[in-house]
Amino acid sequence: MRGVIVGGGVIGLSLARAFSKLGYEVVLIEKGFLGRGASWAAGGMLAPQAEGLSGAFLDFCLESRNMYREFAQEVMVDTGDDIGFWECGIISPAFSEEDAEMLKRRVFNYNKMGLRAQWLSRDELETAGYILGKQIVGGAYYPDDKQVDNRLLTNSLIKFVKSTKVNVMERTIAVMINTDKGRFVSVKTDKGDVSGDFCIISAGAWTGEIYNIKVFPVKGQMISFRQNKRDLDKIFYSKKAYIIPRKNSNMVLVGATEENVSFKAENTVGGVCVLIKGLLETFPNMKNREFTDKWYGFRPTTPDGLPIIGKTDTENLYVATGHYRNGILLTPITVKLLVDLIHKKEESPYLNIFNFFRFNQIEGTRNKSQ
């Protein structure tokens, strides 16, 4: 059985890995180079609590977070690579009493749900060794939020698919979906048609250019600097910036802007200044650290901010997109849902929540009948 996967980010790569290991013939189509889109630009946080999520989406994200240790171990077994999975915990600093009250309520609510969360006063944070900005009055600590080095993960997955029989088609633009009587036939590309028994579109912010799916880009800029020693051993996540130390290096990432500018490329002076301001308001002692890099990416989001996963209005055409800020976090559970759906014919209740049809896009689908 042959599966065609459109999009070579972490989710597309992980889908290719999973179906290849199950014995499927897999074709992976990527418009640029594997893993160099949003997956490369991300921060790698696994942070459903620090993000303040709630309801069914919180449950979904927690389930995926809990899958990560095993996922990281499996990737290591497959490739021999350490992907920087680090159960470091995340602190959300409060910059005002109003912030503090909101975070204390969140801690209380998470504790009621049986989730670990703790309020730390400014004195407790300073006792732990953090040199804080003068506005910070305390912070919420989420010990079970984690991180993975998304670039190490991406490279490991690329290494795996290129070492197997997965047919990788880089620098190949998927133009549209060819169908016959409402059933998937092939993907039309600028290099010819690619046929298969099924197709999964996981093309991130570009998904809507291939099929009529309401996904649009939100640009995010990031920077990095080098810490002289282990100044930071936890992620600090706030409305001003998120600051991410890495497990196996002295590199620290700072992100990220949220800009509705379509696919407008490049970093901007204003965007970088916002990130530096957020960093220094959190840790003023970092002002003399070595600046190392800047980059940007385009997060795929949807009108309701939730992903689109599962079946479409075309038989044997599936989608996995719109994960917004949580693509890295949601990779394990997204892959599981689609493998269960296609390989086992099992439909998770989550597929009803994140379904394609909630945006009423049945009419006007960009496809071609043959």
Question: Mean of the pLDDT values across residues 162-188?
Answer: 97
pLDDT digits (tens, 9 = 90+) for 124-152: 999 999 999 999 999 999 999 999 999 99
Instruction: List all residues 6 or more positions away from 49 whose beta carbon is below 8 Å from its beta carbon.
Output: 90, 110, 115, 117, 142, 144, 145
Sequence letter at residue 4: V
How far, CA to CA in Å, does 120 sit from each of 67, 130, 269? Answer: 28, 12, 34
SS3 164: coil
* Bond prior to 41 in cis (omega within 30° of 0): no
CA-nearest of 290, 278, 285, 286 to 254 is 278
**How many angstroms separate the CA atoms of 262 and 322, rounded?**
15
Residue percentage of the chain with pLDDT more than 70: 97
2-52+151-215+303-369 and 87-144+217-301: same fold? Answer: no
**How many angstroms separate the CA atoms of 207 and 321, rounded?**
7
Q: How many CB atoms lie within 10 A of CB 49?
A: 28
What is the DSSP-derived secondary structure letter of residue 1? -
The sheet with strand 183-189 has its strands ordered as 192-195, 183-189, 174-180, 367-369
Q: Give the model's pLDDT for residue 100.
A: 98
Q: Give the model's pLDDT for residue 89.
A: 98
Q: Give the model's pLDDT for residue 368.
A: 40
CA-nearest of 314, 348, 316, 313 to 334 is 348
pLDDT digits (tens, 9 = 90+) for 239-274: 999 999 999 899 999 999 999 999 999 999 999 999
Q: DSSP letters of 274-293?
A: HHHHHHHHH-GGGTTSEEEE
**How many angstroms separate the CA atoms of 279 and 292, rounded?**
14
pLDDT digits (tens, 9 = 90+) for 296-346: 999 999 999 999 999 999 999 999 999 999 999 999 999 999 999 999 999
- Cα angle value 257/263/267 (rounded, 5°): 45
What tokens were used for 238? 């706030």
**How many angstroms separate the CA atoms of 221 and 42, rounded?**
9
Give the residue extent of every domain in the chain: 2-52+151-215+303-369, 87-144+217-301
Rounded to 5 degrees, what are φ and ψ at 150?
Answer: -60, -30
- Tell me if 332 sits within 8 A of 325, measured CB to CB: no
- In this structure, are strands 367-369 and 174-180 parallel, antiparallel, or unpaired? parallel
- Tell me if 161 sits within 8 A of 28, measured CB to CB: yes
The CATH architecture that domain 87-144+217-301 belongs to is 2-Layer Sandwich (3.30)
Q: 140 has which bridge partners?
A: 92, 119
Mean pLDDT over each residue of the chain, to the nearest integer:
96
The CATH architecture that domain 2-52+151-215+303-369 belongs to is 3-Layer(bba) Sandwich (3.50)
The sheet with strand 290-301 has its strands ordered as 118-121, 138-142, 90-94, 235-237, 242-245, 251-255, 216-226, 290-301
Q: How confident is the model at residue 159 (pLDDT cuts 50, 70, 90)?
A: very high
